[in-house]
C-alpha cells in the first residue's frame, strides 16, 4: 500500500464557507417545476454501459457486484432468482446516485486527499484491523484483508473508500444547514416524556383467517388474476455429463528436484528475508483529537503530558515498567500484558514511535515521546537484525508450493487433452483412456450441488450458459477442472393451478384476511365512538379487551408492539378519548386512554437535548434526501448524468451472476 498509511496526520476541516449558499440556491432553482426543461440523457448507447456520471462509466459488472452485495446482506447470499432483476435495478440507481454525489463533492471542492484516506483507515471503522495498537499490519496483510473481505484490489478499494468519504463530506455540509425551532423541540420532548395507560381491543389476523374457507372456484379465479407472479417460477433445469480432473490426485504423482527448489528459492529470496524488528513495551497516555473546527484542548494535552512525566519519574525511581503499564497505560491492546507489543518492523508505526524504539538500546527506556496518539514511554525488550533465511530452513515450505504449481499445470493440460478426446471419441472413451470416470446427472437446478463437485456457483453459471449437445468444454471447479457437456435442458416453467394450489390458497387467505381485519377494526372503532364504550363494541365484534401498563414511547405492549409506531397516537390523546383503528403486523387494535402523566419541567429540561437531536436527525435526513433527488435532476439536466435507456431496460432480464 502507499506509504502514506504509515504516517501520522489528521483529517482537515472540510465544511467550506459558501457551500450552504450554493446548496440552497441550487435547490431553489431546481425545485421550480419546469424550470430548466426536460432531463437530458445524452443519447448514451455504448453496449454494457448503463450510465455515465461526468467521465465515470457505470457498467453492468459494477452493478452486478452491487446487486450481489445487496442480496448477500438481505438474503444471506441465497437470493431468489425472481428477485435478481429487481436487485439489479435497485443497484443501478444506487451506483448512479453514489457516483453523482462524488462528482458533486469534487465539483464543490470537497475532494478527498491521500491524507484524509489515511486518517480514515487509521481511525475509522477499519482502524483496529489495519492498525492494531497503532501499528500498520503491513502491505501483504493489508492486500489479503481487502481481497478476503471485499473481493477487489487495493486501488479499487481505496477509490471506493475515497468515494464514501466524499459522499459523507457533501452530505455533512448539506445537513449542517438544518435547524429546529424551540416550539418543535418542546412538542417533541413533551411527547417523548409523556406516559399513558389505556384499554385496548384486539383483533387478530390469525383469528380472522380461520373463518376464511375459499371454494375451489374462488381459488382458481384468484390464481388466474395473480398468474403473472408464477410465470417461469419453476427454475430451469438440465442434465449434464462431466469428467473430473482433481488437482489433489494429480499432485500425488508429482515430484520436484532439489535443483527446482534451489531455483525457486533464488527467484523468491525477498519472501524469505526477515526484516529488522524491535520488541518493546510501552505506556500510552492519550491526548484528545481536535474538534470539528481543528481546535485542540490544550488543557487536556498538558494534563496528559504531566501524567506521562510523573510516570517517567516513577520509572527512574526504580518502579517496574510492566506494573506501571498495567496500572496507567491507555492502550487497551497492550496494557494488560504489561505494555508488551508484538515485534515491530520499520514502516509499520508512526515515525516518532519508530525512531525512539529502533534508536534505543536493548534494556533501556526512552523519555516521554509525543505522537499523534498521545504521550508514550517505551522500554526496549529485544532486537532482531535483518537476515535472509537459508535454504535448509525454508525448503520444506517451498516443496509443496512447487508441487501445487506443477499439479495445477498438469491438471490443466490433462483437462485440455480430455476435452479434445471427448470431442472426437466421446466421453466414455476419453475417460477410459485417462483412467477417469464419467458422471451423469439427473435434472439439476442452478443452485443444486453436483456429485463429486459439491457447491460450485461459478461452475454452475458456466454450465447453465452452455447449449444442449454443444461440443465438450472445460471449466474450473473448486477441486480442479471438469470437462462437461449439457445433454438435456428443461426451460423455466409456469406451474399449473394444481401444482401451486396450496400456495394459492394461503395467499388468498392472507389477502382476504387483511381486508377483513381492516374492515372489522374500522367497524369496531366506529361502534366504540358511537356508543362511547370500547368494551361494548369489542364484545360485539368478538375482540379481546386488555389493559396496558403505564408506558412511554420506548415501551413494548403485547399485541401492539413498539409504542413509537402507529400506536404513538396514544401520546397525543386525552383521558377517555378513543382512538381510530390501528393496524400493524398480525393485529389491529382500538385503544381508550385511561391515564395520562405529563412530564415535569425538570424532566423536560433533562431530555431537551435528546429531543433536539432526534428532531435534527430526522430533518437532516429529509433535507439530505431532498437534496440528493434534486442534485440528480440537476446533473441530468446539465448532461452530467447520461442514461443508456436500452441497457437499463435490459437489466430486467439479467440475473446478476
Whether 117 contacts 162, CB under 8 Å: yes
In this prediction, residue 654 carries a pLDDT of 58
Q: What domains can you pick out in the chain, each with its CATH number?
A: 3-179+618-653 (1.10.4030), 195-231+499-597 (no CATH), 237-253+392-490 (3.10.50), 276-385 (3.10.50.40)
Cα 281 from Cα 323, distance rounded (Å): 11
Pairing of strands 561-562, 556-557: antiparallel
The answer for residues whose C-beta is within 8 angstroms of residue 49's C-beta and 6 or more apart is 57, 58, 59, 60, 644, 647
The DSSP letter of residue 473 is E
CA gap 78, 301 in Å, rounded: 52
CA distances from 493 to 222, 490, 521, 625, 650 (A): 19, 8, 41, 41, 21
How many other C-beta atoms lie within 10 A of the C-beta of residue 387? 11
The count of C-alpha atoms lying within 13 angstroms of the C-alpha of 498, restricted to the half-sphere facing its C-beta, is: 0
DSSP one-letter code for 340: B
- Beta carbons within 8 Å of 53's beta carbon, 6+ residues apart: 96, 99, 100, 103, 635, 640, 641
Short-list 619, 616, 623, 614, CA closest to 170 = 623
Task: Please compute, for residue 190, the number of CA atoms within 13 A of its CA located in the half-sphere on the CB side.
Answer: 10
pLDDT digits (tens, 9 = 90+) for 460-518: 999 999 999 999 999 999 999 999 999 999 999 889 899 999 999 998 998 899 999 99
User: Closest by alpha carbon to 146, among 166, 132, 165, 130?
Assistant: 130
Compute the Cα dihedral for 418, 419, 425, 429 and give only its sign.
Answer: positive
Predicted pLDDT at 292: 59
- Read off the pLDDT of residues 115-156 as tens digits, 9 standing for 90 and up: 888 888 877 677 778 887 777 777 777 887 887 777 778 888
User: What pLDDT score does 11 carry?
Assistant: 32
Chunk the chain into consecutive blocks of 10 residues (it has 657) and report each block's average pLDDT, rounded to whole numbers: 38 32 34 32 70 88 80 65 77 88 85 82 77 75 79 82 85 81 86 91 92 92 86 91 93 90 91 90 90 77 95 95 95 89 86 93 95 93 92 91 89 94 95 95 94 93 94 94 96 90 91 92 96 95 94 92 91 94 90 93 85 85 88 89 85 59
Say how far apart CA 540 and CA 57 lie, in whole Å. Answer: 64
pLDDT score, position 41? 43
CA distance 155 to 222: 54
What pLDDT sits at residue 349?
Answer: 85
**Which grid coordinates belong to 336?**
494488560
Q: What pLDDT score does 19 carry? A: 33
Grid cell listed for 181: 425551532
3-state secondary structure 488-553: EEECCECCCCCCCHHHHHHHHHHHHHHHHHHHHHHHHHHHHHHHCCHHHHHHHHCCEEEECCCECC
Q: Which of 612, 621, 592, 561 is nearest to 190 (CA)?
A: 612
Q: What pLDDT is attached to residue 36?
A: 30
Q: What is the pLDDT of residue 112?
A: 83
Q: Any bridge partners for residue 562, and if so which?
A: 556
Q: Using a CB cutoff of 8 Å and minimum separation of 24, what contacts does 300-308 make?
A: 304/374, 304/375, 305/368, 305/370, 305/375, 307/375, 308/283, 308/368, 308/374, 308/375, 308/376, 308/377
Distance between CA atoms of residues 621 and 506, nearest Å: 39
Alpha-carbon gap, residue 13 to 74, rounded angstroms: 36
- Rounded to whole angstroms, how far apart are CA atoms 354 and 606? 47
d(CA 267, CA 477): 30
Amino acid at each position: 500500500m502507499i506509504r502514506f498509511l504509515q504516517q501520522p496526520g489528521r483529517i482537515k476541516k472540510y465544511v467550506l464557507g459558501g457551500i450552504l449558499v450554493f446548496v440552497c440556491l441550487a435547490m431553489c432553482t431546481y425545485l421550480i417545476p419546469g424550470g430548466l426543461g426536460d432531463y437530458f440523457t445524452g443519447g448514451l448507447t455504448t453496449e454494457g454501459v448503463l450510465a455515465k456520471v461526468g467521465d465515470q462509466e457505470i457498467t453492468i459488472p459494477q452493478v452486478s457486484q452491487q446487486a450481489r452485495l445487496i442480496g448477500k446482506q438481505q438474503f444471506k447470499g441465497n437470493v431468489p432468482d425472481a428477485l435478481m432483476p429487481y436487485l439489479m435495478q435497485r443497484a443501478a440507481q444506487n451506483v448512479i446516485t453514489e457516483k453523482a454525489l462524488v462528482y458533486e463533492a469534487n465539483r464543490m471542492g470537497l475532494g478527498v486527499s491521500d491524507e484524509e484516506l489515511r486518517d480514515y483507515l487509521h481511525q475509522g471503522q477499519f482502524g483496529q484491523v489495519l492498525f492494531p495498537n497503532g501499528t500498520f499490519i503491513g502491505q501483504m496483510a493489508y492486500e489479503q484483508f481487502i481481497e478476503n473481505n471485499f473481493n477487489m484490489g487495493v486501488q479499487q478499494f481505496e477509490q471506493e473508500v475515497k468515494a464514501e468519504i466524499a459522499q459523507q463530506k457533501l452530505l455533512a455540509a448539506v445537513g449542517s444547514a438544518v435547524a429546529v425551532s424551540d416550539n418543535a423541540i418542546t412538542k417533541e420532548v413533551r411527547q417523548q416524556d409523556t406516559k399513558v395507560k389505556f384499554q385496548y381491543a384486539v383483533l387478530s389476523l390469525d383469528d380472522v383467517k380461520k373463518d376464511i374457507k375459499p371454494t375451489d372456484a374462488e381459488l382458481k379465479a384468484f390464481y388466474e388474476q395473480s398468474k403473472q407472479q408464477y410465470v417461469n417460477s419453476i427454475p430451469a433445469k438440465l442434465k449434464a455429463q462431466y469428467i473430473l480432473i482433481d488437482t489433489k490426485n494429480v499432485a500425488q504423482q508429482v515430484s520436484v528436484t532439489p535443483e527446482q527448489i534451489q531455483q525457486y528459492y533464488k527467484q523468491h529470496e525477498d519472501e524469505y528475508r526477515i526484516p529488522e524488528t524491535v520488541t518493546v513495551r510501552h505506556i500510552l497516555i492519550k491526548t484528545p483529537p481536535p474538534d470539528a473546527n481543528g481546535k485542540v484542548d490544550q488543557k487536556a494535552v498538558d494534563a496528559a503530558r504531566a501524567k506521562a512525566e510523573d510516570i517517567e519519574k516513577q520509572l527512574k525511581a526504580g518502579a517496574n515498567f510492566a506494573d506501571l503499564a498495567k496500572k496507567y497505560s491507555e492502550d487497551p491492546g497492550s496494557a494488560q500484558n504489561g505494555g508488551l507489543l508484538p515485534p515491530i518492523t520499520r514502516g509499520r508505526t508512526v515515525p516518532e514511535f519508530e525512531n525512539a524504539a529502533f534508536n534505543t538500546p536493548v534494556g533501556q527506556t526512552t523519555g516521554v515521546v509525543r505522537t499523534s496518539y498521545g504521550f508514550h514511554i517505551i522500554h526496549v525488550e529485544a532486537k532482531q537484525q535483518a537476515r535472509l533465511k537459508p535454504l535448509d530452513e525454508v525448503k520444506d515450505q517451498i516443496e509443496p508450493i512447487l508441487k501445487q504449481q506443477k499439479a495445477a499445470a498438469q491438471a490443466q493440460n490433462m483437462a485440455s487433452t480430455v476435452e479434445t478426446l471427448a470431442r472426437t471419441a466421446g466421453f466414455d472413451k476419453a475417460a477410459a483412456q485417462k483412467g477417469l470416470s464419467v458422471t451423469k446427472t439427473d435434472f439439476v437446478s442452478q443452485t443444486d450441488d453436483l456429485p463429486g463437485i459439491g457447491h460450485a456457483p461459478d461452475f454452475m453459471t458456466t454450465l447453465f450458459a452452455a447449449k444442449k449437445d454443444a461440443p465438450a468444454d472445460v471449466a474450473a471447479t473448486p477441486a480442479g477442472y471438469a470437462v462437461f457437456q449439457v445433454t438435456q435442458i428443461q426451460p423455466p416453467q409456469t406451474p399449473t393451478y394444481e401444482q401451486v394450489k396450496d400456495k394459492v390458497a394461503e395467499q388468498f387467505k392472507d389477502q382476504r384476511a387483511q381486508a377483513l381485519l381492516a374492515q372489522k377494526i374500522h367497524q369496531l372503532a366506529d361502534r366504540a365512538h358511537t356508543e362511547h364504550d370500547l368494551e361494548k363494541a369489542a364484545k360485539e365484534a368478538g375482540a379481546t379487551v386488555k389493559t396496558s401498563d403505564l408506558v412511554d414511547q420506548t415501551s413494548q405492549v403485547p399485541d401492539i408492539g413498539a409504542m413509537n409506531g402507529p400506536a404513538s397516537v396514544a401520546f397525543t390523546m386525552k383521558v377517555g378519548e378513543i382512538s381510530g383503528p390501528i393496524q400493524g403486523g398480525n393485529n389491529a387494535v382500538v385503544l381508550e386512554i385511561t391515564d395520562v402523566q405529563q412530564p415535569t419541567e425538570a424532566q423536560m429540561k433533562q431530555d431537551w437535548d435528546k429531543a433536539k437531536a432526534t428532531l435534527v436527525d430526522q430533518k437532516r435526513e429529509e433535507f439530505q434526501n431532498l437534496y440528493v433527488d434534486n442534485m440528480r435532476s440537476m446533473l441530468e439536466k446539465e448532461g452530467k448524468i447520461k442514461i443508456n435507456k436500452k441497457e437499463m431496460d435490459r437489466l430486467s432480464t439479467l440475473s446478476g451472476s
